[in-house]
């Protein structure tokens, strides 16, 4: 379906933009996530390419899961463990791809992030942008949808 292809091209463009910004500035802008979460949900509702309930619940649950991880690890580490932009990014990915895309993004993003940390060691206090790793996992997930 050409409209589904366009939907995933839009998501891919957003993932690339967010990744480069996160790498350079260590921030994910609300303007590149929040309105687009709505676009992802509405496009899924209109295209019916993925069951809407799957997409809606995955968007809410993945955001909540990342929020819990952020709060928990921030308390353990006594510093910010994950940015709010990462929460919005996983919600963006979920709103376009549903469970399968979010799953790939979380699983592969975590693996790629760990590998990146091993290959390019940083100090424990250094900020590591997670957005590019989530985005890479999401892109691989898109290819499997």
Rg (CA), the chain: 15
Helices 84-119 and 34-47, axial angle in degrees (round to 10) = 100
Residue 126 has what pLDDT?
75
Range of the domain at 43: 2-144
How far is the first Cα of the chain from the last one, in angstroms, to the nearest whole number?
12
- Token pair recorded at residue 93: 């990915």
The angle subtended at Cα 112 by Cα 32 and Cα 140, nearest 5°, is: 65
- Note the pTM of the prediction, 2 decimals: 0.94
pLDDT digits (tens, 9 = 90+) for 90-139: 999 999 999 999 999 999 999 999 998 888 887 766 788 999 999 999 99
Q: What's the structural domain count of the chain?
A: 1
pLDDT of residue 92: 99
Report residue 70 as tokens. Answer: 């952020």
């Amino acid at each position: 379906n050409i409209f589904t292809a366009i939907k995933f091209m839009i998501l891919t463009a957003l993932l690339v933009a967010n990744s480069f910004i996160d790498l350079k500035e260590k921030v994910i802008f609300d303007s590149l996530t929040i309105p687009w979460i709505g676009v992802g949900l509405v496009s899924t509702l209109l295209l019916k390419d993925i069951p809407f309930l799957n997409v809606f619940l995955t968007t809410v649950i993945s955001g909540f899961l990342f929020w819990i991880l952020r709060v928990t690890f921030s308390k353990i580490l006594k510093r910010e463990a994950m940015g709010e932009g990462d929460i919005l990014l996983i919600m963006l990915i979920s709103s376009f791809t549903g469970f399968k895309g979010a799953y790939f993004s979380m699983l592969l993003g975590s693996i790629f992030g760990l590998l990146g940390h091993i290959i390019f060691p940083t100090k424990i206090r250094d900020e590591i942008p997670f957005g590019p790793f989530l985005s890479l996992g999401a892109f691989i997930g898109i290819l499997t949808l």
